[in-house]
A and B are shown apart, each in its own frame.
Chain A
Amino acid sequence: MEKIRVSFNLNNEDVTIETFPNKRVVDMLREDFGCTSVKEGCGEGECGACTVIRNGEPVTSCTMLAGQVAGDRIVTLEGLSKNGELDILQKTFMEAGAVQCGFCTPGMILSAKALLMKNPHPTREEIRRALSGNLCRCTGYTKIIKAVEMAIEE
Chain B
Amino acid sequence: MKEFSFFSPGTLDEALSLLSQHKDSVSVIAGGTDIVLELNERAHTAQAVVDISKIKDLRYVKVVDGVVRIGALSTFTDLENDPYIRDHVKSLYSACYYVGSPQIRNLGTIGGNVANASVAGDTPTALISLDATVVLRSAAGKREMKITDFYSGAGKTQLEKDELLTEIYFDAPTENMATAYTKLGKRKALVIVVIGLAVLLERDCNNICSKAQVVIGAVARYPKRLPSIEHYLVGKPITKETFEGCRDMFSQIVYDMIPTRASVGYKKESVKGVANKTFNSILKDFSLSGGEE
Cβ of A87 < 8 Å from any Cβ of B?
no
Most buried by B among A64, A71, A134: A64
With CB as the reference atom, state the residue of chain A lying closest to B189.
A132
Contact with A along B235-273 (1 / 0, CB 8 A): 000000000000000000000000000000000000000
Whole-angstrom distance from the CB of B230 to the nearest CB of chain A? 34
Q: Which of B40, B101, B104, B188 contacts A43 (CB 8 A)?
A: B40
In the complex, what distance in Å separates the CA atom of A132 from the CA atom of B39?
A: 26
Contact present for A2 and B5 (CB under 8 Å): yes
Contact present for A132 and B188 (CB under 8 Å): yes
Interface members, chain B 52-71 (any A CB < 8 Å): 53-54
Cβ of B8 < 8 Å from any Cβ of A?
yes
Q: Which one of A30-38, A53-61, A89-97, A146-154 contacts B?
A: A53-61
Q: Which one of B30-38, B116-124, B278-286 contacts A?
A: B30-38
Cβ of B102 < 8 Å from any Cβ of A?
yes
Contact present for A24 and B40 (CB under 8 Å): yes
Given the contacts A46-B190, A64-B36, A65-B32, A59 and B4 also touching, CB distance less than 8 Å: no
Q: Which of B4, B51, B190 contacts A1 (CB 8 A)?
A: B4
Q: Which of A1, A23, A43, A59 contacts B103 (CB 8 A)?
A: A59
> Which chain A residues lie closer than 8 Å to B32 at the CB level?
63-65, 68
Interface size on B, residues (CB 8 A): 30
Interface size on A, residues (CB 8 A): 34
> Which chain B residues lie closer than 8 Å to A71 at the CB level?
54
With CB as the reference atom, state the residue of chain B lying closest to A22.
B1
In the complex, what distance in Å separates the CA atom of A9 from the CA atom of B31?
A: 19
6 A-B pairs besides A24-B40, A62-B36 with CB distance below 8 A are A63-B36, A63-B107, A64-B36, A65-B32, A132-B188, A133-B189
* Interface, chain A (partner B; CB < 8 A): 1-2, 4, 20-24, 43-46, 48, 51, 54, 57-60, 62-65, 67-68, 70-71, 111, 129-130, 132-135
Task: Name 9 A/B residue pairs within 8 A (Cβ), A-sorted.
Answer: A1-B3, A45-B100, A45-B101, A63-B33, A65-B32, A68-B32, A133-B100, A133-B104, A133-B190
* Interface, chain B (partner A; CB < 8 A): 1-6, 8, 29, 31-33, 36-37, 39-40, 49, 51, 53-54, 77, 100-104, 106-107, 188-190
